[in-house]
A and B are shown apart, each in its own frame.
Chain A
């Protein structure tokens, strides 16, 4: 199956010889080639059902075999769609790049990233899995480093590099553990090992490894940095597809699980619930557009984790309805998130492209000059806040339904957990409304907050096309969710659920939601038409905003992102390090100096789990710096001492 991609693998580096102007176009062509190759796989799946490739022996690596089942196809479709959209988008985003070398590296790794994500989604053997995983990570590392002349980009890249290799250590450790215990190093062997119920530690090791990629707290710290500095199309691909590969791994693990459902269900539910709350509160606090969207990725991953946890708990208490709804919600949410998150990143990228800043406190009023981007972005904001009639609501709704359904019949040990899920989910819903209304309001509405960062005209058509396509898909899912749930059934079957009654019940629910959503749109349009009819008789007048009696308001008086979050910041001070430095003007100052107000927000978990240990480690290692004298003589002395030491040890037969 990988042979489909080999051809393109050889073609991709030829981009070096393409003139700068056509490089992006070449990358798009390569992307389409990969899409066609994957299209064949999807077609084979649709005609034949789940199928396996012959396993081949590869020197040094060992056995290599692929399997295409419902889950793999689901991921193939997501990866391909998002990378196709991103490839279209980058035609506009990188239009004015003239330097060929960074462009070569960027585009080659961009194409490689897509191919290796696809391979990760299909491969069966763990050693090739690790290799593909590593290449995927390295490719994404190169992709994100595009603007590598900036200091924060390099810092984030390093952050990412180190953390992703801790992730690899966990995955490798799990594989080694599997082999030590005498099982085949593939998914089949892993399934046998988990089924034997001998050692459940291996599940946790793999889970932690995958959780790094997915961005569950407290392993999320790389995510906001990376998404913030990567180019928009890359951030979209990372959040839409790459970090979902972590979820992919977790889903594979769950489908192999035979014992201890309750314990793992609780872990996933709690980690998911707290990730969602933590992520969205931090998203609210950010002043940078892309960082807000990045933190909300953590929230969405948390919701997916919560849904998966519900599904596993359903298996623990033998409640097929809970399992089905939990897993269905997770799969739906993966898809939904893979749509609206890239949409938001594309919009944020367009804003950055037009204004030259990501800081919301400097933006404002963009909707006037970029109306199309503004409408697409609004769609994304409403969808991600989980509001009807958009698709985000549907997956969240299924989770609510799963929880409530279990309340009906469940036993109390689970009810307590479900209450955590319920409270966290409803709280997250409210917070995301807060976060995205703020983000949209500050960035796109009102008037511009600084004279330097004004969007002059609408984004490039290349950048608008993928956004429009995503909006269309979102609308289709939103209005006809029952079609989608039918299509996703083979994927949900990966978890081994066969209850037909639940499925039909869910579909009828989806039907109702579809009807009310359409009704909502119709009623809105009707009221709006009524309004235009009423207004026809007396034409509207335009005037300045009511300034409450103050006659000389400037745009700087507007609420900013920082001021909007002030009261929430006080409430959430437990999980937010916020430092205010304030210099006020006192009445006694006759000639007041310039006053200032600086708010600095830090991620508590990042400080606790990354920054402080890193500082401690550096401090410890620095003690050995005395050996580094910088004089050649000393170094020769060290070598001499080492040789003598070695000689003595062997002479005294110590080893």
Chain B
């Protein structure tokens, strides 16, 4: 439970920190840390507008999307604080849960009958499918390294600060997870949420027709997803030598660092050209393969 509460708290500030970083980097003062939360509250009070083309799929999709993220969150532990539900191979469930949400967002975008949203749906589907093997290879490598297949056991003292190989692995894994997080959230280098042209959007264009409550939960789920991946990464760093306060401090510190990194990346980097995105994601799979065989080597299996 403590993990979920921590993630919710982190998610409230995450996008605020990102936006503030971007503002400072571009020489502006920037909005308050909670501005996007105010936006969400404002959205909740607004009247819903549906397109006449849409049907039941469009109405239920945002709810399913949000609940899929919540369910994915349920299987994530906070170090030795048990997850709500934990079982063998729960990371498969984690990944597939995110996929359920994506499936419904894709068909909801198609439901509007808008060519732009179809375009966004197509890109989201493609990039997500390309990123899938990387995540599973990463998790497979950890399963092999730790000899366990559930998040809870995998994170149990994963890191050994005196062992240089495990730190090296962790850096590679962090890089991969960070990129997967960026892909999942449709951020740079794949997609830029601040883009102005519908033709170049991915995620933003899919939710053009959502409004009010739906829009509010879709906006919030971006923050939630960020914080969730933050928790996933943080779990690798925690070990039983820490008490709960230290763990929480580490968690929020990491979330802050991630948010700043995302903000800095978005300030100083341009997005890739659409054509180059698949190559970029394939490289992640290759890196994950390197990680996998690296672990095979380390474990003296060869």
Contact = CB atoms under 8 A, between A and B. Distances in A.
Contact of B47 (A378, A526, A528, A538): A538
Interface of B: 44, 46-57, 60, 62-64, 66-68, 70-71, 74-75, 85-90, 92-93, 95-97, 99-100, 102-103, 106-107, 109-116, 118-119, 121-123, 125-126, 128-133, 135-137, 139-140, 143-144, 147-149, 198, 208-209, 212-214, 217, 278, 285, 289, 292, 296, 301-302
Contact of A404 (B50, B133, B140): B140
A558 B113 contact: yes
B115 A558 contact: yes
Interface string A430-441: 110110111011
Contact of A527 (B54, B66, B133): B66
Contacts of B123: 567
Given A393-B96, A512-B85, A535-B213, 17 more contacts: A367-B57, A375-B56, A378-B57, A408-B148, A426-B95, A433-B99, A446-B53, A516-B75, A516-B85, A523-B70, A524-B67, A538-B48, A542-B52, A553-B114, A553-B115, A559-B122, A567-B122
Interface stretch (A543-551, A586-594, A614-622): A543-551
Contact of A397 (B50, B93, B107): B93
A423 interface: yes
Nearest to B208: A546
Nearest to B58: A445
B44 A513 contact: no
Interface in A552-590: 553, 555, 557-559, 563-564, 566-568, 571
Given A367-B57, A434-B126, A539-B47, A403 B140 contact: yes
B140 A385 contact: no
A516 B107 contact: no
Interface in A381-428: 382, 385-388, 393, 396-397, 400-401, 403-405, 407-409, 411-412, 415, 419, 422-423, 425-427
Contacts of A374: 55
Dominant secondary structure at the A interface? helix
Contacts of A409: 147
Contacts of A548: 114, 116, 198, 208
B149 A401 contact: yes
Contacts of A396: 92
B97 A364 contact: no
Given A520-B71, A523-B70, A564-B122, A368 B147 contact: no
Contact of A540 (B50, B96, B137): B50
22 contacts: A367-B55, A367-B57, A387-B103, A405-B88, A407-B140, A407-B144, A412-B301, A422-B136, A429-B99, A433-B106, A433-B125, A440-B107, A446-B53, A509-B87, A512-B85, A512-B90, A528-B60, A528-B63, A535-B48, A540-B49, A545-B113, A571-B278
B137 A422 contact: yes
B97 A531 contact: no
A412 B149 contact: no
Contact of A545 (B112, B217, B285): B112
A18 interface: no
A387 B128 CA distance: 14
Nearest to B214: A531
Given A408-B147, A563-B118, A441 B88 contact: no
Given A408-B148, A524-B63, A539-B47, A441 B136 contact: no
A541 interface: yes
B43 to A, nearest CB: 10
Contacts of B54: 545
Given A412-B296, A423-B137, A542-B52, A446 B89 contact: no
A515 interface: yes
Contacts of B121: 437, 441, 559, 564
Contacts of B126: 434, 567-568, 571
A545 B292 contact: no
B281 to A, nearest CB: 10
A431 B125 CA distance: 8
Contacts of B74: 516, 519
Contact of B136 (A367, A405, A426, A538): A426
Contact of A505 (B88, B92, B137, B212): B88
A378 B140 CA distance: 31
Contacts of A553: 114-115
Contacts of A427: 129, 132-133
Nearest to A413: B301
Contacts of B89: 397, 400-401, 404, 509
A442 B209 CA distance: 18
B100 A388 contact: yes
Given A535-B48, A564-B118, A365 B53 contact: yes
A415 B66 CA distance: 36
Given A371-B56, A445-B57, A411 B301 contact: yes
A545 B53 CA distance: 7
B121 to A, nearest CB: 7
A404 B96 CA distance: 16
A-B pairs, 6 with minimum CB distance: A559-B118, A430-B129, A441-B110, A446-B113, A512-B87, A430-B132
A447 interface: yes
Contact of B106 (A375, A411, A437): A437
B230 to A, nearest CB: 21
A382 B102 CA distance: 11
Given A519-B74, A545-B114, A538 B53 contact: no
A544 B122 contact: no
Contacts of B214: 531
Given A371-B56, A404-B140, A567-B123, A509 B88 contact: yes
Nearest to B302: A412
Contact of B93 (A442, A447, A513): A513
A401 B126 CA distance: 25
Contact of B110 (A434, A526, A559): A559
Contacts of B128: 430, 433
B87 A545 contact: no
Contacts of B144: 407-408, 415
A308 to B, nearest CB: 20
A599 interface: no
Nearest to B205: A548
B130 to A, nearest CB: 7
Contacts of A422: 133, 136-137, 140
B201 to A, nearest CB: 10
B148 to A, nearest CB: 7
Contact of B44 (A426, A446, A534): A534
Nearest to A540: B48
A508 interface: yes
Nearest to B70: A523
A206 B199 CA distance: 53
Contacts of B122: 438, 559, 563-564, 566-567
Given A423-B137, A446-B111, A387 B96 contact: yes
Given A442-B110, A523-B71, A531-B63, A544 B137 contact: no
Nearest to B279: A571
A388 B92 CA distance: 10
Given A426-B133, A528-B60, A508 B87 contact: yes
Contacts of A540: 47-50
